[in-house]
Amino acid sequence: MNNLELFHEFIQRYKILYGNVIYKFDEDIDNAVQYNDTNLNASIGKYETSIRNCQECKLSNTRLNFVFGMGDPNADLLLVGEAPSKEDDIKGTPFAGKIGNLLDNILSAIGRNRFKGVYITNILKCRPPKNRDPLISEVNKCEPYLKNQLKFIKPKLIIALGRIAGKILLQQDIPLEDMRKKTFNYLDTPVRVTYHPASLLINKNLKQLAWDDFQWIRDYVDGNKN
């Protein structure tokens, strides 16, 4: 068989296996990501469906719900927490309850909401028992899903909410104060770190500092800052 015949046979077999959709397979990601720019919403939904029964780590035994994330698939701002809370686990949505209400208020103050210009997710998609910090082994299994979400959404800026999310994304174990007001990088996307809304509910003195961060975030995504 010559090269052209080999290529023709490959295409025929590919179509039998996968139909007319083009998939891209990454070495470090177990799951194939379907790229379909004409219907991003449907594509990210299909991706969620393909992983929602994940049993790659033991959190699958204790979760009530897999919490993929929610928001605008064309968002220029991607908010990333460390893991679902108890309420998130019950409802199946990220940043539910009081913590989510506060986050929604902050987003509203910068002219956005979780359905417009923003996508919200966590590094882990299942809740660790008693809200303990994610284990490295869990992050290793789950982070590829976040990386794939990033490929779908292609945000202009990622915000890590809280020190633990910052530590995981930046791979630096430093105090949150040393992460704030600096721009880092995660897979070629700029990252900023600010307070988790849960810590703002506990310590109200942090609210002004968080508001300073979100004003910078607003200006950056609106194109008023480099």
Question: Applying CB under 6 A, which residues contact ligand SF4?
Answer: 54-57, 59-60, 66, 124-126, 138, 141-142
Contact between 63 and 126 (Cβ < 8 Å): yes
Residue 117 or 162 with smaller CB distance to ligand SF4: 162
| β-bridge pairing 157-161 and 77-81 | parallel
Least distance CB 79 / ligand SF4 (angstroms): 18
Contact between 206 and 200 (Cβ < 8 Å): yes
Least distance CB 220 / ligand SF4 (angstroms): 29
Least distance CB 125 / ligand SF4 (angstroms): 4
Residue 25 CB-density burial (10 A; 0-12 exposed, 13-18 middle, 19+ buried): exposed
Type and span of the H or E element at 13: helix 3-18
Residue 125 or 196 with smaller CB distance to ligand SF4: 125
Six-digit token string for 98: 């009081």
Listed residue (101, 191, 178) closest to 150, CA to CA? 191
Residue 67 or 193 with smaller CB distance to ligand SF4: 67
Measured CA to CA, the distance from residue 160 to residue 226 in angstroms comes to 19
Residue reference for tokens 């910090």: 133
Residue 51 or 201 with smaller CB distance to ligand SF4: 51
**SS3 state at 104:** helix
Least distance CB 83 / ligand SF4 (angstroms): 8
Residue 56 or 222 with smaller CB distance to ligand SF4: 56
Least distance CB 198 / ligand SF4 (angstroms): 19
Type and span of the H or E element at 190: strand 189-194
Phi and psi torsions of 204, nearest 5°: -65, -20
Residue 69 or 155 with smaller CB distance to ligand SF4: 69
Least distance CB 58 / ligand SF4 (angstroms): 7
